[in-house]
Structure 1
Amino acid sequence: MPMTLNVLQKTRIGMTVNNFRKAASKDELVVLSKTLIKSWKKLLSNDTTPSKPEKKDKEKASSSPDQADSPSESMEAKDSQSTEGRKLMRQDSAASITNDPVRIKCRELIASSLQLDEDSNIPNAQCPIELGAKIEDSIFLEFKNTDQKYKARVRSRVANLKDKKNPKLKEGVIMGLIPPERIANMSAEEMASDEMRKLRAKFTKESIDDHQMARQEGTTTDLFKCGKCGKKNCTYNQLQTRSSDEPMTTFVFCLECGNRWKFC
């Protein structure tokens, strides 16, 4: 039904839905409740923002000792202030609503990968359910569907967040140091731990060195034609791989395409 500020104030439906959110056990119901409450907060903030003349009138009324607010009015003012405070602290915190079972399952997987151990003591830890919904929402906004690329992106987030050898990644997301939009688009190298980055850098350097050695070894010649690229920019080596009375085996390497072959 269309919601107005008058209905919110008379029915107090916001408090009812908020209590339901706290008691709900299903992640989908929690996300839907939070999104609904956030949309109602926007109505409250828009309708309760006074214009300049109204502000002056309120200041005059507050300065007058004969005009005191009733208990109900003061309670509503406190609720409005607390609502505004929470709104400022949690801007754009709620993800979009979805009934897609694939998206809901992916949100649950990401949320489970963000769950902390019982002995973990991380300050300012955010709700894993909210973070999971926001991370999934950012991934879905990029792909616009739930195809294989979307699922692969979700699986890579879950795997890296669950990696016990890389706890800093999960801690950074839980503490808000890594925003949901950032973790949703990080590459495997960016999510990797410092130890893994050093290991990958070592393997990369070894591969480069091996490639350079392969290109430098051997005698350069144009006597051989590569059967793959058709060029004659090659190097060759000769080794005795058979008995001493047999001719040597010639190993040829193409410097253009990397093709290798041998002549016996």
Structure 2
Amino acid sequence: MGCDDEVLKIKKKLDKMTTSGSDQTQALDLLKVLQTLPINFQVLSKTRIGMTVNALRRASSDDDVISTAKQLIKNWKKFVPDKKEDEDKDNKEEKKKDKEEKKESKSGSNSNSNSNSSSSGSGSSKPTSFPPSAPPTTDALRLKCREMLTNALKCSELPDGIVDTPESLGEQIEEAIYQEYRNTDAAYKNRLRSRVYNLKDSKNPQLRENVLRGVISPKRLATMSSDEMASDEMKALREKFTKEAIDDHQLAVAQGTKTDLLKCGKCGQRDCTYNQMQTRSSDEPMTTFVLCNHCGNRWKFC
């Protein structure tokens, strides 16, 4: 088993200990195993084990677990390349490439072909970077909101085919909401709470699975309305209630025609008002809405 597979196996066990509140007696042993593995920048980038260990550190009450987790994170930070150093390196490579191109442009067509091969070779040596993720933040409120979104995405067993870790998706959702409001005021908090509530809704598991599988992007989820996030069952129920409310309103307020030819089935009186509306296709008969002026009973017939 490769190092990546071993780290992912340990990550899965630590995630369960962190989110489900299960026994953490094996956590220290798993952290010690991580200390012995040859973890490098590529492994950290692919598995995102650092976020899992940090989450365990926050959730644990065991001093040994907390201390070991802190030490691991401190050691792994050394593998993350400094941004300034990367920029300096890129600038030097770019200047070197420009000089080579100018020199080769003077030597004719043969030199031009050599320049193309040199360019393709330098392009293949670019360092691997982390998967796309939200910019980091030190704001305590935003960090807490990211944690809430992550926990909502991890509230039950993860489905197959997820496009990214719940931690990364939670960060991206929070970042999209923050970019819309540019502050953490009441509107920002209300928007975030509604995402958390709908993701944790046991009656609407499809929303959470769609986000984890990439069907709904983090940016899309950040702007969806309550109706858009609702389950198919809830959407059908809301549509039914809306139609009934419209029918009742039209029946109550539309100007109708008084008649004594219709008898109320509730009170037996013949003091009624009716009107007709085309509620179906044009080749179908109109629907008659009747209101008893005596007792207020309403009914309809075709």
Range into which the TM-score falls when normalised by the shorter chain: 0.5 to 0.7
Q: TM-score, structure 2 length as denominator?
A: 0.50
Residues 65-104 of structure 1 aligned to structure 2 (within 5 Å)? 80-81=125-126, 83=128, 90=131, 93-104=132-143
8 Å CA contact 1:189, 1:197 repeated in 2: yes
**Corresponding residue number in structure 2 for 1:22:** 49
Deviates most, 122-131 or 44-53:
44-53
Per the alignment, residue 104 of structure 2 pairs with none
* Aligned counterpart for 2:209 among listed residues 165, 168, 171: 171
Shift in CA distance, 137/39, structure 1 to aligned 2, threshold 3 Å: farther
Q: For the residues of structure 2 that align with 1:158 and 1:123, how far apart are their CA atoms? A: 22
| Residue-pair matches, total | 188
Letter in 2 for 1:189: D
What is the deviation of 1:114?
0.7
| Code of the aligned partner of 2:54 | K
Task: Establish whether residue 202 from structure 1 lines up as the match of residue 230 from structure 2.
Answer: no
The one-character-per-residue Cα deviations of 1:127-165 (angstroms, maximum 9, x if unpaired) are 111111111111111111111111110110001111122
**4+ aligned runs moved over 6 Å, structure 1:** 217-220
For 2:91 and 2:155, the matched residues in 1 are separated by 37
Mark the runs of 5 or more structure 2 residues left unpaired by the alignment: 1-39, 59-69, 102-112, 259-290, 297-302
Higher RCO (CA 8 Å, separation ≥ 6 residues): 1
Relative to structure 1, the CA distance from residue 95 to residue 42 in structure 2 (aligned partners, 3 Å threshold; closer, same or farther) is farther
How many angstroms does 1:177 deviate by?
2.0
**Structure 2: distance between partners of 1:177 and 1:146:** 28
Q: Percent identity?
A: 39
1:188 is aligned to 2:226: yes
Q: For 1:213 and 1:190, how far apart are their aligned partners in 2?
A: 30
Match of 1:51 among 97, 100, 122: 97
* RMSD (Å), alpha carbons: 4.2
Instruction: Tell me by how many angstroms 1:105 deviates.
Output: 0.6
Distance change in 2, residues 1:186/1:39 (3 Å):
farther
2:134–2:171 contact (8 Å) kept in structure 1: yes
Q: Which runs of structure 2 are paired with 1:215-226 in the superposition (5 Å)?
A: 215-216=253-254
**Code of the aligned partner of 2:41:** M
Whole-angstrom CA distance in 2 between matches of 1:181 and 1:38:
28
Partner of 2:27: none
Match of 1:161 among 192, 199, 221: 199
SS in 2 for 1:51: helix
Q: Name the CA shift for 1:45/1:116 in 2 (closer, same or farther; >3 Å).
A: farther
Whole-Å separation in 2 of the counterparts to 1:213 and 1:107: 49
- After TM superposition, give the deviation of residue 47 of structure 1 in Å: 5.5
**Counterpart contact for 1:219–1:237, Cα < 8 Å:** no
3-state SS of paired residue (1:108):
helix
Question: Using a 3 Å threshold, how does the CA distance of structure 1 residues 214 and 163 change in structure 2: closer, same or farther?
Answer: same
SS in 2 for 1:138: helix
Out of 180, 186, 190, the residue aligned to residue 142 of structure 1 is: 180
Aligned-residue offset at 1:217: 6.8
**3-state SS in 2 of match to 1:184:** helix
Which of residues 199, 211, 228 in structure 1 aligns to 2:249? 211
Q: Could you tell me how far 1:168 is from its partner in structure 2?
A: 1.8
For structure 1, the residue ranges without an aligned partner over 5 or more in a row are 1-13, 64-76, 221-235, 241-250, 252-264
Q: Distance in 2 between matches of 1:145 and 1:190?
A: 25
Aligned match of 1:106 in 141, 145, 153?
145
| Offset from partner CA, 1:212-235 (integer Å, 9 cap, x none) | 011137779xxxxxxxxxxxxxxx
TM-score (norm 1): 0.56
